[in-house]
Amino acid sequence: MNTNLLFAGSARMMMRYKMRTFFMAIGIIVGVTALIFMRAMGVGAEQAMMDTVNKTFSTATINVVAGGGHMGPRAGGPVTSLKVSDFNAIENQIDGVVMTGAMQWFPGQDIRYQGETRQMSIYGYTDQTEAVWLRGVSEGDYFSSEDVESASRVAVIGQRAAEALFGDENPIGKQIQAGSVPLRIKGVLELQGIDTHGADKDDEIHVPVTTLMRRLMNVDHVFAGRIILDNPDDVDAVAEDIKVLMRERHSLNESEPDDVVIITPELVQDIVSNANRVLGRYLPAAAGVALLVAAIVIANIMLIAVKERVPEIGIRKAVGAEDGQINFQFLSETIVVSLTSGVFGAGIGMAAAIVYGNVSDVPMVVTIGSLALGLGAAVLVGIFAGVMPARQASALDPVNALR
């Protein structure tokens, strides 16, 4: 059996029955295109999240968030036990701590400038944000320790928020309104992009944490804070010391649960990895549905082709063709169609991912592994779809086939 001749014959059959080949190919092209595109989106999202984590969460960092066992607001309302003074105590009483920075959060607030209004989150930070939270300003100045101590009516603004409110105007020195509180813009934040929770960090405003607490929210507690260590190897020990200190300061007895969440770099990496694992499994699954439909279509078309080519099969078997050769002939036809379609689909998917990544803010990364997965899936579809028609063709009796 000459394999090269069989595959060449399969290619000729594709060209002879163009409409049939088109319907067999279109499902695989769509499925492989979707697979490559979605894998590119998943890999891009994973890299973007890891880049954001690495930029904002170093290995010598611990985050403390209000709410024991909860990383967001509770159903029963916010936890109010976490104070700025808690972070001062952590810095002063726990060995290995270099600095701390408390943070408060006020989401979904209407910010007005002249006739423009934009809803965005307001974050309250200390003057050490550049060192603690690893984010400074690209223009102007961040607020000072005097601004924090006096709860000054000042703010720094994200670049996207600045463009929305001020257009081409320079925002520095301009006055915006947050509720009834006027705020003077001191600076424009560095670009940061989307965080691990999907929030646009360039569409937010920072104010001194005391300003947010006293003037805007009228509270005495904070949402979270960050601790910087001098040695990354001490993270676990310091985290345990923080837990003990917080329970002591918040007067919790042994039967009461923790009222803060302590987030270490290892925990963040695990959360991101788990999210990416889910993303990597379920995005390609949608493309797999298209490939399954393509396999069913190909199998049905090939079964019809077997019935149409009964005389041809009878002649081949009458002149000595074995069952295995007939089987391989029909199987090779589906594989050739599937592989050729897979190449087209991979090319279209790669091009679509590159174009979409260039015209949108969504990171798209096409990998060799994704292309190999797409082509491998196409070949598997061809084999799966071709087995039944090939067996039916090889099982035909030559005498009955020639009648």
Tokens 């002591």 map to which residue? 248
Q: 279 and 168: one domain?
A: no
Provide, rounded to the nearest whole percent, the portion of the chain with pLDDT above 70: 78
- Look at residue 402 in the predicted model and tell me its pLDDT: 52
Q: 307 and 368: one domain?
A: yes
Distance between CA 187 and CA 172 in Å, rounded? 6
Report for 100-104, 260-264, 288-292, 359-363: range of highest mean pLDDT? 100-104
3-state secondary structure of 113: strand
Q: 136 and 253: one domain?
A: yes
| Higher pLDDT among residues 124 and 307, named by residue | 124
Count structural domains, the chain: 2
Residue that terminates a domain, selected from 258, 284, 311: 258
Q: Is residue 178 part of a domain?
A: yes
Q: 127 and 13: one domain?
A: no
Q: 109 and 241: one domain?
A: yes
Q: 361 and 332: one domain?
A: yes
Q: Is residue 63 part of a domain?
A: no
Q: 110 and 225: one domain?
A: yes
Maximal CA-CA distance, the chain:
101
Q: Is residue 377 part of a domain?
A: yes
Q: Is residue 264 part of a domain?
A: no
Taking 60 as the threshold, does the pLDDT of residue 19 lie above it? yes
3-state secondary structure of 263: strand
Taking 70 as the threshold, does the pLDDT of residue 352 lie above it? yes
Structure tokens at 227: 């601790």
CB 145 within 8 A of CB 131: no
Q: What is the DSSP string of 295-334?
A: HHHHHHHHHHHHHHTHHHHHHHHHTT--HHHHHHHHHHHH
Residue positions counted in the chain: 403
Q: Is residue 387 part of a domain?
A: yes
Q: Find the domain containing 97 and state its range.
A: 80-258
Structure tokens at 47: 């890299």
CB 377 within 8 A of CB 35: yes
Per-residue pLDDT tens for 125-179?
A: 998 888 898 888 999 999 999 999 999 999 999 999 999 999 989 999 999 999 8
Residues in Cβ contact with 61 at an 8 Å cutoff, skipping those fewer than 6 apart: 226, 227, 228, 229, 265
Q: Is residue 75 part of a domain?
A: no
Q: Is residue 74 part of a domain?
A: no
Taking 70 as the threshold, does the pLDDT of residue 312 lie above it? no
- Look at residue 393 in the predicted model and tell me its pLDDT: 63
Residue that terminates a domain, selected from 208, 236, 258: 258
Q: 122 and 232: one domain?
A: yes
Residue that terminates a domain, selected from 237, 258, 279: 258
Residues in Cβ contact with 228 at an 8 Å cutoff, skipping those fewer than 6 apart: 58, 60, 61, 97, 98, 99, 100, 131, 132
Distance between CA 218 and CA 171 in Å, rounded? 27
Residues in Cβ contact with 24 at an 8 Å cutoff, skipping those fewer than 6 apart: 294, 297, 298, 301, 302, 334, 337, 341
Residue-averaged pLDDT of the chain: 82
Distance between CA 112 and CA 220 in Å, rounded? 26
Q: 138 and 238: one domain?
A: yes
Q: With the CA atoms of 390, 391, 392 and 397 taken in that order, what torsion angle do they form, in degrees rounded to the nearest 10? A: 110
Distance between CA 374 and CA 68 in Å, rounded? 44
Q: 169 and 306: one domain?
A: no
Residues in Cβ contact with 149 at an 8 Å cutoff, skipping those fewer than 6 apart: 210
Per-residue pLDDT tens for 63-87?
A: 999 986 444 444 344 578 899 999 9
Q: Is residue 64 part of a domain?
A: no
Q: 314 and 367: one domain?
A: yes
Report phi then psi at 187, rounded to 5: -165, 170
- For the beta carbon of residue 143, count every other beta carbon within 10 angstroms: 23
Structure tokens at 189: 């934040």
Q: 39 and 107: one domain?
A: no
Distance between CA 195 and CA 183 in Å, rounded? 25
Bridge partner residues of 205 (DSSP): 122, 157
